[in-house]
Amino acid sequence: MIRLSITCATLLICSAQLAFAHGDTVPQAVDTSGLPDLGEAMASENPWRTAEGDLLFSAVKIGAKGFNSNCARCHGLEAIAGGLAPDLRYLEASEWGDEWYLSRVLTGYEQNGAVKMPPFADILSPEAIWAIRTYIETRPDQEEMTARQPELSAAHAKVEALAAGGDATAIAAELDALGDSFAVLSGAARSVTALHQAAHILRADPARAPAAAELIAATLRN
């Protein structure tokens, strides 16, 4: 798997070039129901970096909602930045990356007296903060996803065909293997794609194959 990282200097330069403030976008608390309580003390490293199964997918799902409601305006939908703010997908999935992330999230960022990023220390719980981090660091390379759409289309067709019968467990294994082949830009151990999420659904309840197929279809539409 290709592993890319971003240097401290690059991130600081990107931060200095931020052109969009949050403006009238009011920071929002995030519902973290379904995630374990991390307590009031903030961990120094992502506690869900090695999570698996339900915990991993819950963290990514909740993190996606938290990111879209609080971060996407500046850092881009699905964490794909447009060049005005740091592309957080490249932030290293490491102790240093967590330190930089926490500093920005908890204390915010100002440039020439203007608030470019508000502090979230009093708004987001530790669970929400680390769920957002988990979502960001497991994002796959979108360019690779686009380039390999024929493979995604073939996977989608196999999942759709389960409506007529078939081995959902075997298809889930194929989806996981294909998902694992996509690069993760943060250097994390794995990406979390719609393929992984669809596989998780099939293992839990094969009757939900249509919902699994729709997850992959949404990726194809994007």
What pLDDT, on a 0 to 100 scale, did the predictor assign at position 19? 34
> What is the spatial distance between Cα 97 and Cα 142, in angstroms, rounded to a whole number?
21
149: amino acid identity, one letter: Q
User: What is the spatial distance between Cα 167 and Cα 173, in angstroms, rounded to a whole number?
Assistant: 10
Please name which of 45, 44, 15, 4 lies closest in space to residue 186, comparing C-alpha atoms. Answer: 4
Query: In which residue ranges of the chain is CATH 1.10.760.10 found?
Result: 8-139
192-202: average pLDDT: 97
What tokens does 201 get? 């659904």
Mean pLDDT score across all residues of the chain: 88
| Strand ranges for the chain from DSSP E | 109-111, 114-117
pLDDT at 4: 38
How much is the average pLDDT of 6-14? 40
Per-residue model confidence as pLDDT tens digits over 88-124:
999 999 999 999 999 999 999 888 888 888 899 999 9
Residue 30 has pLDDT above 60, yes or no: yes
The topology under which CATH files domain 8-139 is Cytochrome Bc1 Complex; Chain D, domain 2 (1.10.760)
**Mean per-residue pLDDT, 47-53:** 95
What predicted TM-score, i.e. pTM, was given to this entire model?
A: 0.86
Residue 8 has pLDDT above 70, yes or no: no
Name the strand (E) or helix (H) holding 164.
Answer: none
Give the Cα separation of 215 and 211 in Å (integer): 6
Please report the pLDDT score of residue 11 as a whole number.
Answer: 41
